Structure 1
Amino acid sequence: MGAPGQGVILKPDPPVVGKVTHHSIELYWDIHQALQRKGPSSQWLKFSIEEEDVKTRAYGTIYSGYSRQHVVEGLEPSTQYRFRLKVTGCNGEYEYSPIVAVSTTREPMSGEHLHRAVTMNDEPKVTSILQTGHVKADTPDKFGLSPLMVAAQKGYLRLVEILIDHGADVKQQDGSGKNCLMLACFSGHLDVVQYLRKQGASWESRDKGGCTAMHWAADGGHLKVIQWMITDGCEVDVKDNCSEWTPLMRVSAITGDPDVAQCLIKAGANVNAKDSDGKTPLMIATLNSHERLVRLLTEKGADCSIKNQYGISIMDMAKAFNRQNVVSILEEMKNKHS
């Protein structure tokens, strides 16, 4: 190539490919005469990098200036791109280099890929991602859930096994303090619960509200899971840290399931336990119109004469909130035992 200012432009070599990633390509060119940049800038050679449009096959300028390198960014992974260098002299004459074709690399595996594979229950994909060693098994998603928590909640036992085999921590908690055991208990996946227990998951763990796995199991209302938890030594009458609710109170508030309640009571749950406001399971069941549970609790010894810390009785509550159906049950049970 002629020196700058002589008006002689020879065909340049194609750009040299430098570092390539899944989203960028580095191009540089080494035109020695241009590096001297002698004389005024108006006599310097000007360089342009042009990229081919795959649809139109036309070339468009993506860089223009006096540098000898440019990084093309924002590219798609595993995709081929074609570039050429244009050298323009001070008199406006120019020459194009031959085309250089280069492909971006594959997108590296990330926690997002792992979570997507777990959600799809794709065992081979989960295994292949973890075997790369680039993604940790405990990488949380945007909600703070680990892949193991997601698999446990969905009941994907084989994925739970794979994740633990690759180092997933059964004790890891999300932002609210829940762990994989709590999520499996809530969702009713007994096989997952049993496996997690074998892997060291503890019944003693509490979330940030002080709830245990039994509280979450009560919320889910899965009787077989609760029955097995009891046989495995899980405490049934523990109180949380916020409202001092027991699992039986959670049943009284949420599901109203008399079978689950009876299971808890048989295992030692106190039917007359009081929360931080002095409410009993019977009061909570009344406020939530769980008629069958109200009847069961009274049959199991719930004391209708107990008042909360404001001096309000169960009958007062039922009448104040127009729970006429519960009033009838309470009067019936009172007459039955009088």
Structure 2
Amino acid sequence: MEYQLSKSEGTDPVFYGVYEGTHRAFTVSELKPLTKYRFRLRWRPEDTDQWSSEYKECSGTTEDETAALKAVRNIQMTLVNGDGAATMALIERHKADLHIEARDRYDRTLLMLACQYATGNVVQCLMNLGPDVKAATRSGKTAISFAVTYGNLEAVRILLDFDEALVNQRDQGGSTILMWAAENAHANKQGHTIVELLLSRGANVQAVDNAGQTALDRIAVLNGHAPTAQLLIKHGGLLRLTPDRKQPMTTLMTAALNGHVQLVRCLLADYDVPYAVANERGATALTYASSGDHTSVIKAIRDHMDKKVARAPAADAATGATAASTTKA
């Protein structure tokens, strides 16, 4: 069962969504003190796409901010500001009555914020209070999603040590933790190391999302980070060599289309992927590079083509010499 909660403030007739998901308990944050609110709850069974026409409604007036709510707000602020010492002091002071699952306006729990902004000791401090490590935002992102996206290696280790199954967790779009890590490997100092860690802990390198893309496909589309691509291929990542109706682009075509020259050079030099293969539209990797006016990619492909052509006569000559020697013998 899925639930949809919306709220209306004061006399405003319009209701605004505040939560949509499967959790039966949800903390609504960012409410103004001494303000009247109305809430409506709808539901949707798993076997239908339609929300119920009926709904339950309740109303109430908030009190002045409690000490517990103020503590949550202060911890959220110190986390975002990267003040680990202040965060840990606040957690220690309020741990007896801290709303550990409270969320900010972007639907992030305290643990998610720590995985995005804080060091490992702060993450562990929150973990000691027993948060829900599988709690998700409306888009399906969890604490470990934030950790890999923002390159928090310590947080990733802590979460995997707590629950190894998190390594293959998926969001609503079918994206795995490895996909998020690969997508952001180029943007963080620890990004490549995080991918290594996930693979060593059993991440499924061939998993596909709802669009049929793998972690390696994400790199070919988004960042072209050759070292991480090599790492994924080494661990069994699917290198697309021929197009088909389901996947009309090879890995080389995708990298060429998006102008990732380092990845293009890597695929050609290290894996000798076929550069002349065409899809149903008759387009090759060179076609896609030209369509995007990626001059460095065009040059890389043509240089590789020239080397292949130059090596061909030498190979033919060597074959001929061997044949002649055999005939004389």
Same fold (TM over 0.5): yes
Question: Following the alignment from structure 1 to structure 2, what is the Cα–Cα distance between the partners of residues 229 and 179?
Answer: 16
What is the match of residue 227 of structure 1?
196
1:311-334 CA distance string (max 9 Å, x none): 422222122222232222112223
For 1:107 and 1:284, locate their aligned partners in 2 and report how far apart those are by CA, in whole Å.
51
Counterparts in 2 of 1:115 and 1:337: CA distance versus 1, 3 Å: same
Q: Whole-Å Cα distance in 1 between the matches of residues 63 and 162 of structure 2?
A: 43
Matches of 1:233 and 1:141, distance apart in 2: 32
Deviation string 1:210-261 (CA, Å, 9 cap, x unpaired) is 111111111221111111221111122222113x221112222222221111
Q: Larger % of strand: which?
A: 1
Question: Which of 121, 127, 130 matches 2:92?
Answer: 127
Q: Show the counterpart of 1:324.
A: 295
- Cα 1:157–1:302, aligned 2, differ >3 Å: closer, same or farther? same
Please point out which of 169, 175, 179 is paired with 1:205: 169
Query: For each residue in 1:151-193, what CA deviation from the matched residue of structure 2 results, as whole angstroms up to 9, or x when unmatched?
Result: 1122421221121211211111111111111221122222211
Which residue does the alignment assign to 1:303? 274
Distance 1:219 1:172 in 2: 22
> SS in structure 2 opposite 1:293?
helix
Provide the rounded CA distance (Å) in 1 between the counterparts of 2:277 and 2:69.
63
Q: Which has the higher helix share?
A: 2
The aligned residue for residue 155 of structure 2 is: 192
Shift of 1:126: 2.1
Deviations 1:112-152 (A, max 9, x none): 23322433332111222232x1x321111111111101111
Q: Classify the secondary structure of the residue corresponding to 2:236.
A: coil
211-220 vs 300-309, greater mean Cα deviation: 300-309
Q: Return the index of the structure with the highest Cα Rg.
A: 1
Kindly indicate whether the alpha-carbon contact (under 8 Å) linking 1:114 and 1:129 is maintained by their aligned counterparts in 2: no
1:215 aligns with 2:184: no
In 2, distance between residues paired with 1:219 and 1:226?
Answer: 10
**What is the RMSD computed on CA atoms of the aligned residues?**
2.7
Partners in 2 of 1:151 and 1:293 — Cα distance?
33
How far apart, in 2, do the equivalents of 1:106 and 1:144 lie? 21
Q: What is the alpha-carbon distance in structure 2 between the residues aligned to residue 171 and residue 268 of structure 1? A: 28
Matched, 1:252 2:209: no
Alpha-carbon contact 2:71-2:90 (below 8 Å) kept: no
Q: Percent identity?
A: 25
Distance 1:206 1:308, change over 3 A: farther
1:161 aligned residue: 124
Alignment partner, residue 248 of structure 2 = 278
Provide the TM-score with structure 2 as the length reference. Answer: 0.65
- CA deviation vs aligned residue, 1:274-302 (integer Å, no higher than 9, x gap): 69552232222112211111010123143
What's the TM-score once normalised by structure 1's chain length? 0.63
Q: Is the 8 A contact 2:68 2:94 kept in 1?
A: no
Q: Could you tell me which amino acid in structure 2 is paired with residue 183 of structure 1?
A: F
Matched, 1:112 2:77: no
The answer to whether 1:152 aligns with 2:115 is yes
Note if contact 2:219-2:225 (Cα within 8 Å) is conserved in structure 1: yes
d(CA) in 2 for partners of 1:332 and 1:153?
A: 43
Gap runs ≥5 in structure 1: 1-22, 25-73, 78-104
Is the alpha carbon distance of 1:324 and 1:164 closer, same or farther for their aligned partners in structure 2, counting shifts above 3 Å? same
Q: 2: CA distance between counterparts of 1:154 and 1:233? A: 26
Aligned to 1:5: none
Shift in alpha-carbon separation, 1:128–1:310, aligned structure 2, 3 A: farther
Q: Is the 8 A contact 1:118 1:126 kept in 2?
A: no
Report runs of 4+ in structure 1 exceeding 4 Å deviation: 74-77, 105-108, 273-277
Residue identity in the other structure for 2:232: L
In 1, Cα distance between equivalents of 2:277 and 2:72: 53
Task: Specify which of 243, 250, 258 is matched with residue 288 of structure 1.
Answer: 258
Question: What secondary structure sits across from 1:202 in the alignment?
Answer: helix
Aligned to 2:28: none
